[in-house]
Amino acid sequence: MKKSILVLNAKLINEGKIEEKDIFIENGKFSRIENDLSNLIADTIIDAKGQYAMAGVIDDQVHFREPGLTHKAQIYTEAKAAVAGGTTTFMEMPNTKPQALTQKLVADKYEIGAKDSIANYSFFMGVSNENLEEVLKTDKNNVCGLKIFMGSSTGDMLVDDRQVLETIFSQTNMLIATHCEDEETVRENSRLAKEEYGDDIPMHMHPVIRNVEACYKSSSLAVELAKKYNTRLHILHISTAKELDLFTNKIPLAEKRITSEVCVHHLWFDASDYEKMGSLIKCNPAVKEASNKEALWKALLDDRLDIIATDHAPHTWEEKQGNYWNAPSGVPLIQHSLLMLLEAYKQNKISLEKIAEKMAHAPAICFQIKERGFVREGYFADLVLFDLEKSTMVTKESLEYKCKWSPFEGTMFDSQVTHTIVSGHLAYENGKFDESEKGMRISFDRN
């Protein structure tokens, strides 16, 4: 039986409100949430006076690289980084080695998660041009979704056959998550760049090669197919102002058939940062001109963009030192995603209530996650506590990532994650982990 936990005097950010509450956790779930529970006895008591609490962050897009790419990352290391940053649940992508394109290979990843992950977990089923039969076997209540790369990225999982796309969109009852960049556009832009620069392409050309048109052309195709077949579509890492017209804020999130995600790096960086950061912020879709970042913030706040995630995608430092063609795309971000948003709060860009909504509530609604994403009695106790009066210095030594680098090394964040509770287990407290319990496989409540 899990130990009981009593959190006292927390400023609870939950469902659009901030209220001082005491929170009692037993048997892995929120048992009581009241104004004064100081008379209760618990195995662990946390006095959170002056601190804020919210449901643990749910990150719907990460690349933890296991199996097969474990020189970059492992589920064990990256889940620890997640928990250190307040993320209690992750959904991991299929472009590993081997790629998760069969039910057996997806099941293998769940076995690793059960053995090694200190955070809660789910794994996407991958889609290729040839694995439709396997895709259609996926259990919608035990797997977060299907992942389709409608543009090539890290790994070779491009699905560019229109007939295959039509078949999947028309036959599946699963949520489809898409990476949208038009391959033909990217190839032509690559050819033109190589013609101009040869092999010595400057990194600031990345958003020119993987440009706005490449994103929009692919995203609009995905939306067209979803509308044609009434498919449940979730478009990942929106990075352009132009794509925002594809989404609506006129209906509640729970009723949307087409939803969207924005990633922390597209809200933080813009094209001017390539001069200083170079390949360290090379990712797909590319970080683009500042006007896009401004539009993304606006759409996030008015609910055309539904979820904030990371697309956490580590590579080794040595790999990232290659030239434009050789440096792989992807950035490690999950340990600092909540701190990034708290920094934005301090800059008056977003409210604490909106952070909790976009990082916890909305992912739970969007993916129909069972009994998570909110601080409610009877729900699994996923909770993060943070202090807005303490700071966090990012150093190489503080990084839990296996790759041991971050674009934020040397950055001082003006907040600090102090405690992370995962399914009722105090997994992280003031820089120290308790790995005596693992996270849980999340389930979904889908009709």
pLDDT digits (tens, 9 = 90+) for 405-425: 999 999 999 999 999 999 999
Tens-digit pLDDT profile for residues 117-138: 999 999 999 999 889 999 999 9
Has domain 56-366 been given CATH number 3.40.50.12780?
no
Contact 262, 238 (CB under 8 A): yes
pTM of the model: 0.97
For the four alpha carbons of 362, 298, 62 and 355, in that order, the dihedral sign comes to negative
Q: Residue 151: pLDDT band by 50, 70, 90 thresholds?
A: low
pLDDT at position 157 is 77
Tokens of residue 253, six digits: 């999130």
Tens-digit pLDDT profile for residues 182-202: 999 999 999 999 999 998 999
**What average pLDDT is seen over the chain?**
97
Dihedral of CA atoms 350, 353, 358, 360 in degrees, nearest 10, equals 140
pLDDT at position 162 is 87
Q: Which helix (H) or strand (E) holds 105?
A: helix 103-116
Residue 158 clears pLDDT 90, i.e. is over it: no
Nearest to 238 by CA among 330, 305, 188, 183: 305
Tokens of residue 135, six digits: 């895709």
Distance CA 21, CA 13 (A): 10
Contact 278, 203 (CB under 8 A): yes
Please give the average per-residue pLDDT across 206-232, as a whole number.
98
pLDDT at position 16 is 98
Chain region(s) in the chain for CATH 3.20.20.140:
56-366
Residue 445 clears pLDDT 60, i.e. is over it: yes
Nearest to 377 by CA among 17, 3, 21: 21
Residue 427 clears pLDDT 70, i.e. is over it: yes
Chain region(s) in the chain for CATH 2.30.40.10:
5-53+380-433
pLDDT at position 447 is 80
298 Cβ neighbours under 8 A, 6+ residues apart = none
Determine the angle formed by the axes of helices 212-229 and 162-171, rounding to 10 degrees: 40
Tens-digit pLDDT profile for residues 78-119: 999 999 999 999 999 999 999 999 999 999 999 999 999 999
pLDDT at position 156 is 58
Please give the average per-residue pLDDT across 155-173, as a whole number.
86
Top-level class of domain 5-53+380-433:
mainly beta
pLDDT at position 83 is 99
pLDDT at position 153 is 54
Tokens of residue 85, six digits: 């940053």
pLDDT at position 231 is 98
